[in-house]
Amino acid sequence: MALFRLPSSVPAALEPRGNGLLLRAPQMSDFPQWAQLRERSRAYLTPWEPIWPSDDLTRSGFRRRLKRYAEDIATDRAYPFIIFRESDGAIIGGITLANVRRGIVQAGTIGYWTGEPYAHRGYMTSALRVLLPSLFGELNLHRIEAACIPSNLASVRVLEKVGFTREGLARRYLCINGVWQDHVLFGMLHEDFHD
């Protein structure tokens, strides 16, 4: 007898919406707006992200990114989402569910970013609230993990607001902006999640 249900196949494209937001996988047509927001937000994002590849904001770099995303989705390894404001179609940021592990784990790790013009306005909290039901529902995850640099208080607040539990500190966990940085570890279990 199975103790938990495993997905029988990769789910159909997820496009959760709510709170005035639409989340969907990136498409080539998103490139101009995505690149413009990332460039405009570069100084704001740099302290919290890995060093950007030299071609990150080029059309060919974006095309390679989409190819990698398609492979990740097809193999159930990761699910990237761009966050759109429904009222005007503006891209406000992105969330990626990465490092999906199946079998007895049924877990994945989320990472996210918000463009500077949209920061500190509640968009990421709303976007995570829109996405979490799909992660625990359609993707059948038992556990979702997240990590952030301890000094990134805005990110800590977002995770706490949506119900993640602080679980510990990982020393020199990720190489961010060229430096190995400590990260606060957060987790949310399916049974912790409340719609």
89 Cβ contact partners less than 8 Å away, ≥ 6 residues apart? none
| 35-51 burial: b if 16+ Cβ within 10 Å, else e | bebbeebeeebeebeee
CATH number of 17-144: 3.40.630.30
Q: Name the amino acid, one letter, at 103.
A: G
Q: What is the mean pLDDT of residues 59-68?
A: 96
Q: 12: pLDDT confidence band, cut at 50, 70 and 90?
A: low
Query: In the chain, what are the domain boundaries?
Result: 17-144
**pLDDT tens, residue by residue, 173-184:** 999 999 999 999
Q: Which two tokens stand for residue 16?
A: 């959760």
Kindly tell me the sign of the dihedral angle through the C-alpha atoms of 167, 168, 171, 175.
positive
**pLDDT tens, residue by residue, 124-178:** 999 999 999 999 999 999 999 999 999 999 999 999 999 999 999 999 999 999 9
Query: What is the pTM assigned to this prediction?
Result: 0.92
Across-strand partners of 97? Answer: 79, 110
pLDDT given at position 195: 64
